[in-house]
Amino acid sequence: MKKELRRAVIAGNWKMNNTPSQAKALIEEMKPLVKDADCDVVLCVPFIDIPAAVEAAKGSNIKIGAENIHFKASGAYTGEISADMLKEAGVEYVVVGHSERRQYFAETDQTVNLRTLAAVNAGLKAIVCVGETLEQRELGYTETLLKYQTKMALTNVTKEQLKNIIIAYEPVWAIGTGVTATADQADEGNGFCRAAIAEAYGEDVAQTVTVQYGGSMNAKNAEELVAKVNVDGGLIGGASLKAEDFSIIVKAASK
């Protein structure tokens, strides 16, 4: 295991929180707290917040991401946002296939793959989410499912494009529930994702891919989680809405 080959990425996923003015205020508060980070710091924000967030983050080490992307370049897709729109707005990262989108917005492994391709083909960095439900875990399907979701999401992604892919292992049962995976469960889940990448692209390549953990990561448990060999940072929901908590997680990943 070669953790030193990978840069840790701490990414906030604000979900459906913060108006543009709140986004600006929160980023202004975060900037001095995360300025010395020795990891990549990303905030994935609602589409409508992107201009305010990009403006507020200018000149800082905070990069702005979106929470979704459509797979077509343009056309009659009411309510959707394309890669070009995100690029022109100054977005560098995009969350793809979050379990909330799979659960509430009928995302499938196929659409997750298409969205991933749209992102990397446009030069955006895709944070691709995978994760099992509690039922799937209890049935013993975690490894099979994580490998399947990871490989499906990466279908037709080239080795070169893989440099712009981050995998986020987010057990569905740990999201927003306050129930965090243990550090060993996170390490194991992340390891399954990395093993799937190794099966598809080779072990050397798999060792270079950043695999985050997400699911009730917070200021208290971050240090133990990110210390694990397979955990290269985190995708943070609730705790990314509080500047101080988020900065503590960034500091934990910078050690």
Name the residues that contact ligand 13P, by CB under 6 A.
Answer: 13, 98, 170, 175-176, 214-217, 235-239
* Distance of closest approach, residue 41 Cβ to ligand 13P, in angstroms: 15
And the tokens for 125? 């960095």
70 is catalytic: no
Q: Which of 98, 100, 107, 132 is catalytic?
A: 98
When the beta carbons of 34 and 225 are compared against ligand 13P, the nearer one is 225
Distance, in Å, from the CA atom of 188 to the CA atom of 231, rounded to the nearest integer, reads 9
When the beta carbons of 57 and 235 are compared against ligand 13P, the nearer one is 235
Sorted by sequence, the CB contacts under 8 Å of residue 78 that are 6+ apart come out as none
When the beta carbons of 99 and 201 are compared against ligand 13P, the nearer one is 99
Q: Are 8 and 39 in contact (CB under 8 A)?
A: yes
Distance, in Å, from the CA atom of 222 to the CA atom of 244, rounded to the nearest integer, reads 13
* Distance of closest approach, residue 176 Cβ to ligand 13P, in angstroms: 4
Residue facing ligand 13P at closest CB distance: 237
Sorted by sequence, the CB contacts under 8 Å of residue 158 that are 6+ apart come out as none
When the beta carbons of 68 and 113 are compared against ligand 13P, the nearer one is 68
* Distance of closest approach, residue 216 Cβ to ligand 13P, in angstroms: 4
Strands 233-236 and 9-13 come out as parallel
Helix, strand, or coil (residue 154): coil
Distance, in Å, from the CA atom of 213 to the CA atom of 58, rounded to the nearest integer, reads 27
* Distance of closest approach, residue 14 Cβ to ligand 13P, in angstroms: 9
Distance, in Å, from the CA atom of 156 to the CA atom of 160, rounded to the nearest integer, reads 11
Active-site residue list: 98, 170
